[in-house]
Amino acid sequence: MQPRRSDSKKWTSLPKEYLENIHTAITAQYKKELKNVEVVVEGRVYDREVLVRIGFLPNGRLKQHNFELAFDVPEAKDQVLTKLNTSLDFLGSVFIEFFAKDGFENSEYEETLPILWKPVSFSKDVLHFQYSTVNSKLESLADEWLSKQDEALVNENRTEDSGMDAYNFAEQYDAETLEKIIELKKTEKALTDDNTTLEGDQHLH
């Protein structure tokens, strides 16, 4: 997930039990609409904001429909849960419209959803909403791949100002292409490691 605030760096996940409860509630409430659809629930707490992503991934597809919400951490920390519940209520209203418009197949309706953070007023709260189609599993793969590269490889492919994080890396390519790129890079690295080992063995003789 891509945070809304530029100063959001380090984060912790929302409690697993809380995320599981959201998953259970959504799958039960929209049982008919989410038949053969995997529900993905993610949440992060940064120093100054909280992010929630609820994604729908139809079986056999790579495109994941994500509804992402962010809000600033309130001064009274005990209000975080209240704002989370407000956020989920807002997303619930979005889901109703999404399913009514046959959102999984309706590209025209999909184009009306904000792909950049958009402030919305809901229940006297200011929230920030955006829609994305990043596949969470592939985003995680990209994150893992990027984290394992040494600094030389990272600098070869990007500058510090390019903002090429895992989210942007995943957004730059479609899901199938991204998966192939990651596998190709893994193969290239394995071959490089093998050649390095071979050269080292030759020097020993």
Final residue in a domain of this structure, among 133, 161, 181: 133
Report which residue type is found at 85.
N
- Which of 109, 133, 157 finishes a domain? 133
Q: What is the pLDDT of residue 63?
A: 92
pLDDT at 124: 87
Residue 204 lies in a domain: no
Question: For residue 95, which of 63, 60, 129, 125 has the smallest C-alpha distance?
Answer: 129
Same domain as 155, residue 129: no
**How many domains are there within the chain?**
2
Greatest alpha-carbon span in the chain: 76
- Are 19 and 120 in a shared domain? yes
Domain assignment present for residue 65? The answer is yes
> Which pLDDT tens digit goes with each residue over 30-69?
999 999 999 999 999 999 999 999 999 999 998 999 999 9
Whether 192 has a pLDDT exceeding 50, the answer reads yes
Q: Is residue 118 part of a domain?
A: yes
* Phi and psi, residue 92, nearest 5°: -60, -40
Domain that holds residue 151: 137-194
Give domain status of residue 4, yes or no.
no
The verdict on 70 and 126 lying in the same domain is yes
**For the chain, what is the mean pLDDT?**
82
Kindly state the average pLDDT of the residues 164-174: 56
Query: Higher-confidence residue: 74 or 149?
Result: 74
Model confidence at 114, pLDDT cuts 50, 70, 90, reads very high
Residues 124 and 147 placed together within one structural domain of the fold: no
Q: What is the structure's pLDDT at 158?
A: 47
Q: Is 87 part of a structural domain of the chain?
A: yes
